[in-house]
Amino acid sequence: MAGTGEIRSCSDGGLCKSAGKRLTTEFLSCIKCQVKLTKQQANWSPYDNGGSCVAVAGADYCVVAADTRMSSGYNILTRDYSKICKLADKCVMASSGFQADVKALQKLLAARHLIYQHQHNKQMSCPAMAQLLSNTLYYKRFFPYYSFNVLGGLDSEGKGCVFTYDAVGSYEKVGYSSQGSGSTLIMPFLDNQLKSPSPLLLPALDAVTPLSESEAVDLVKTVFASATERDIYTGDKLEIVIINAEGIRREYMELRKD
Amino acid sequence: MFRNQYDTDVTTWSPAGRLFQVEYAMEAVKQGSAAIGLRSKTHVVLACVNKANSELSSHQKKIFKVDDHIGVAIAGLTADGRVLSRYMRSECINHSFNYESPLPVGRLVVQLADKAQVCTQRSWKRPFGVGLLVGGLDESGAHLYYNCPSGNYFEYQAFAIGSRSQAAKTYLERRFENFTDSSREDLIRDALIATRETLQGEKLRSSICTISVLGVGEPFHILDQETVQKLIDTFELVAEEEGPNAEPDADAGEGVAPDQGDVPDQSAAADQGVAPMDL
């Protein structure tokens, strides 16, 4: 790796003056860039309002939950902001990230849903909305919606389904998912509790959890309580939306306010 | 006498100062099957006679939901009507998106009228062959407008367009002064009676008419056939006893009210189970 004979350029990037020049050091970047790298810097973006979202699919229900804290940097903007939006009768989306982009996205999808209803005389199914959301996000591939979404609902057969997205529309149907600032804390826990015994089993086991609706709601509450402990951007209140054959209902739970 | 010389295209005036193509377009409206609209202070009812091409086919859709607070009934070239409804829906959605509030009806009809006017002043277009009864609710109350192919629009308390609409208009002219303070049920009843007038003796059944209602606290929706049939049965009974020209109000009030008190609840429950843009 090291050696004065090799031609290497500073690995820190294109702006470095040493780019392309032979380095006579053992390190992978020139001294100047290294110094820059090690300097402590505050690291937050005003384009992130924080928060976490979770969705869990069951055999005949779907639970979508998100906290209600909106923050900017180290400040709390409000403790009571809903990140969850009902897109169709049996389809609910929770989004974390930059809430202005989330709001714009929700409005767009609501308008598109109205057009769909005018044209097709019926509500959009959850899988259809999932594809629409993906296309809408990719449409802005080169100036993305800073929105990390989970879509939850019932498919046309009444089974629970959850779709998880990245900011530019890559999506997958899963049995459960989390997005947002607390997702790194939440996802491993959900994997532990909900992941099917073996993804190698053929035919592939259904991704939806065998848990009952109340068990799933309890799991979600537990998960958020834990995430709130360690993620500063998650807390205040938890909003839970449960979709089942009877319709949609909402529950709230207080979370730690610190 | 000179009509034929000046009616080839819409951009030619006649010596008398008329645009014959536009007038012919208004004739097309008169050929379509009847559409009726009436309004009170808080509700608008649109009704239409269903016309089917043949016994084997389904009837044409003449009443369209434009938004929760606006509905439209058309008469004439239904294809033109469909296109205009799509335009109206699009305008409502855009307005809601930009301003987070429902598009006021008065604005929508002006946009519609301007769109119709364009077609009266372009040599490569033809006027729309459809008359629209636009009923809507906004902050200033309930409204009913009639949009002509000519690009004119008028506001009405009650109106009827299409074939044999004169019979309905005669009935409405007799009764319109009461409409402002009418209850929702009375308004629907008047709409059904007016519809019956256009049928000239043919029996009024729920399969040949469509009724839609919108009002305060009640988004636009089309009543389903069962509800309409029940309403027809309720007042038709009364009408047979009293005679079609009598004032059914006084006596019928007590007899009709308990039945119709039940029906709106059922229709509300039934409608909630049905898709939003239902027929």
Provide the token pair at B245. Answer: 């020209």
Question: Order of strands, edge to edge, in the sheet holding B35-39?
Answer: B158-161, B35-39, B43-49, B209-215, B218-222
Q: How many CB pairs under 8 A join A and B?
A: 26
Instruction: Of B222, B212, B214, B235, give the one whose Cα is nearest residue B279.
Output: B222
Residues A7-32 have pLDDT tens digits of 555 655 555 666 666 655 555 666 66
Q: Would you tell me how many other CB atoms lie within 10 Å of the CB of residue B270?
A: 13
Phi/psi at A253 (5° precision) = -145, 135
Note whether B93 contacts A114, CB cutoff 8 Å.
yes
Question: For position A126, what pLDDT does the model report?
Answer: 96
Question: For position A39, what pLDDT does the model report?
Answer: 72
Type of residue numbered A249: R
**Distance of alpha carbon A106 from alpha carbon B206, whole angstroms:** 40
Residues A107-138 have pLDDT tens digits of 999 999 999 999 999 999 999 999 999 999 99
Provide the token pair at A160. Answer: 């629970």
Taking the CA atoms of A12, A16, A21 and A23 in sequence, report the sign of the dihedral they define. Answer: negative
Q: How close B97 gets to chain A, by Cα (Å)?
A: 7
Residues B65-110 have pLDDT tens digits of 999 999 999 999 999 999 999 999 999 999 999 999 999 999 999 9
- pTM of the model as a whole: 0.80
Phi/psi at A107 (5° precision) = -60, -45
Question: For position A20, what pLDDT does the model report?
Answer: 60
Question: For position B249, what pLDDT does the model report?
Answer: 41
**Distance of alpha carbon A156 from alpha carbon A170, whole angstroms:** 22
Instruction: Answer for the pair A134, A112: CB distance below 8 angstroms, yes or no.
Output: no
**Distance of alpha carbon A67 from alpha carbon A47, whole angstroms:** 18
Provide the token pair at A118. Answer: 């005018």
Q: Which residue of A has its CA nearest to B100?
A: A107
Of A108, A111, A118, the CB nearest to B277: A118
Instruction: Answer for the pair A220, A54: CB distance below 8 angstroms, yes or no.
Output: yes
Neighbouring residues of B2: CB distance < 8 A, sequence distance ≥ 6: B14, B15
Instruction: Of A41, A38, A45, A42, give the one whose Cα is nearest residue A181.
Output: A45
CA dihedral B44, B129, B148, B106 (to 10 degrees): 50
Q: Would you tell me how many other CB atoms lie within 10 Å of the CB of residue A105?
A: 22
* Ordered DSSP codes for B78-142: HHHHHHHHHHHHHHHHHHHHHHSSPPPHHHHHHHHHHHHHHTTS-TT-----EEEEEEEEETTEE
What integer best gives the mean pLDDT of chain B? 86
Residue with tokens 């009509």: B3
Question: For position A40, what pLDDT does the model report?
Answer: 73
Of B86, B90, B278, the CB nearest to A121: B278
Instruction: Answer for the pair A230, A183: CB distance below 8 angstroms, yes or no.
Output: no
Question: For position B156, what pLDDT does the model report?
Answer: 96
Angle of the B184-198 helix axis to the B225-242 helix axis, nearest 10: 80
Residues B223-278 have pLDDT tens digits of 999 999 999 998 876 555 444 444 444 433 333 333 333 333 444 434 444 444 44
Beta-bridged to residue A239, according to DSSP, are A66, A252
Note whether A111 contacts B278, CB cutoff 8 Å.
no
Q: Is A156 on the interface with B (CB under 8 A)?
A: no
Note whether A118 contacts B97, CB cutoff 8 Å.
no
**Distance of alpha carbon B235 from alpha carbon B238, whole angstroms:** 5
Type of residue numbered A123: Q
Q: Is A117 on the interface with B (CB under 8 A)?
A: yes
Note whether B275 contacts A122, CB cutoff 8 Å.
yes
